[in-house]
Every structure is written in C-alpha cells, then in structure tokens.
Amino acid sequence: MTTSFKLNLPQGTLITGRWRGGRYLIQRLLGQGANGVVYLVKQVDSARLYALKMGFDTVDIQSEINVLKALQRQGRRHHPVRRDNSGYLVEVDDYSFQGKEIPFYVMRYIKGEPLRAFLARRGSRWMDAAGMNLLRQLRRLHESGWVFGDLKPENVLVGTYGEVELIDYGGVSSIGRSVKQFTEWYDRGFWNAGGRTAEPSYDWFSFAVVCIHLLAEQPLKHAATQLPQMRSSGDLLDIVYKAPSLAPYREWLQKAIQGEFRDTAEACLLWKELVTASRPEPVKKPTTPRWIISAFAISVTLLVYALYMAFRF
C-alpha cells in the first residue's frame, strides 16, 4: 500500500501511536525529504526530545524501519555496552490521521547541522575531524554487514566538536545486494567508475565525491555536466590532483575513487595519518636572543658590584 500525500502538522499536535499508545507532542518541523517529514517531538511521559519521521510511502518507510531494526539487533549482539545505533530507533507505530494510517518511527534526536553548513561556518579544515568521524561511522556499518548507499552531505549531521551522525537509513543495503537508493553525483555508476553492488568501496567512492563537492565544487560541477558517456573516474582524479584545497586528502581520495583500500579500517587509518601529518606545526614562541640575555647578566653583575663598592665606604 502506498500513502502519498503531504503532511503539515502544527506545533503542539499530539501524535498517539495506534498500537503501542506512545504519545509525542510536536515541537517543530526538523525537515522534509522525498520519503517523509521529520518533526522534533517531546515524549509526553518522559519529557525527552526525539525526532519522529512519518512516511509518505508505506513501503519505503517500512524498508527503512526494517534496516534500523536489523541494525539495532546487530548492535546489541556485537556491542552490548557500546554507544552505537542500538539506541537510535526508539519506537515504531502508526498514526491515525483523517481516516488514514500513517506509519511513523521515533529515533534519537541529533542536534547538529548538515556537513556543508558546518564547514561553511567553521572553516574547511574541520573536514579533518568530521571526515574522521564519518569514516568511523561507516566502518561500524560495514563491519556489521551493511552499506550506507545514499551518502551525501545532507545525510551527514555534525555536532559542535565535529562528531558525526548519519541520518536517513532509507538507502542502506546489506553487503552483496544492489544499492537501492542513490544520488547522481555521489553514485559510482554516474561516473562510469563501477557497479552499484552494495560493498564498502561504494561508500568510499561516495565519500570521496562528498569531499570534492564540498572543497572543490566548481570543477566537479563542470565534470558532472559532461555527456554521460564521457564521465569517468579520471575526471575526479584530475580534480583531486589539481585542486589545492584537496591536497591534504589527495592520497586518500585517489585510493577511495579507485576502491583500493583493503577495508574501511584501513581507510580510517590513512585518513588519520594524512590529517595529522598535514596540520601546521604549532607556532613556537619567539625566543629572546642570546646576546640580550648575556648583556642583561653583565649589567646585573656590574650593578651589584657598583652597589657593593658604594656602600663599602
């Protein structure tokens, strides 16, 4: 069944789950995408804030919920105490609205801003930290047997200190299947650079294009508007070699575009090495020239001697 209509619920609307009875008060709209609308809500019983996503399309939102549930199960099994996706999904239910059943799920509220806005405000060198944290998130996902798929700047929320959370799990596929949701520029197929099989290298590639997009937008735009049959990974590599803003990440980007990492742990390691090596040395405090210190020492000695001679008689 497909539910396809737009929702515009005002602040203060009470959402009550049809089956589980959870009650959530809408605080404000967080965002609206192709698949659903996301509200900041307060759980009535606990006064805690969460994000609540309602789907326009029952099939799409159900597949997103299935992935989140599987991730949650895996998270619990593999890392019972670690903070990971096991706490991400809070509740799943339906909301009865004007005679229709609208599926929704409640998830952890992420207080952050999209990657592009974050870099624009804090400066592009914050890509070092945000990129590191994003790669760690991907590693966790890959090690659990999943590929994110639709990696793009809008799906990456960044907190004050560069901590990263991925949102929109609608494009997640298990390794070996086909990537089910993607966005042109970040898609390997768009660049004739490989297939759409869900494998970690698919996400590395997308992440490389995210970096190029955010740090060297003009040449990427230019390359993306060529005839489809002309596009290739060579165009991306060309940008990577030429754009000074990408210099700190050059080696990483080249490997990601060509899918040359052994696994995502290796990708994390190389990113860390490169960003650590490219940081400028801390500025040393200017030191006092030696001759001034010697002159000062001689003056003090002479003064002490003069005072001694003066008071001796």
Ligand X SMILES: Nc1ncnc2c1ncn2[C@@H]1O[C@H](COP(=O)(O)OP(=O)(O)OP(=O)(O)O)[C@@H](O)[C@H]1O
Is residue 30 near ligand X by the rule CB under 6 A?
yes
Is residue 36 near ligand X by the rule CB under 6 A?
yes
Task: Point out which span in 15-23, 34-42, 131-139, 295-303 binds ligand X (CB under 6 A).
Answer: 34-42
Binding residues: 53
**List of residues 6+ apart from 123 with CB closer than 8 A:** none
Dig out the tokens for 18 from the structure: 């049809």
Least distance (Å) from ligand X to the CB of residue 3? 13
- Length reported for the chain: 313
Is residue 194 near ligand X by the rule CB under 6 A?
no
Task: Point out which span in 164-172, 211-219, 252-260, 276-284 binds ligand X (CB under 6 A).
Answer: 164-172
With CA atoms as reference, report the closest residue to 269 among 135, 134, 129, 115: 135
Is residue 170 near ligand X by the rule CB under 6 A?
yes
Please list every residue from 135 through 154 that binds ligand X, using CB under 6 A.
Answer: 154
Q: What angle do CA 268, 273, 277 make, to 5 degrees?
A: 150
With CA atoms as reference, report the closest residue to 211 among 174, 236, 176, 179: 236
With CA atoms as reference, report the closest residue to 168 among 9, 287, 59, 60: 60
Exactly one of 35, 144, 173, 206 binds ligand X (CB under 6 A); that residue is 35
Binding residues for ATP: 53
Please list every residue from 246 through 305 that binds ligand X, using CB under 6 A.
Answer: none
Exactly one of 34, 59, 269, 297 binds ligand X (CB under 6 A); that residue is 34
Report whether 167 contacts 148 (CB < 8 A): no
The contact set with ligand X (CB under 6 A) reads: 30-31, 33-36, 38, 51, 53, 107-110, 154, 167-168, 170
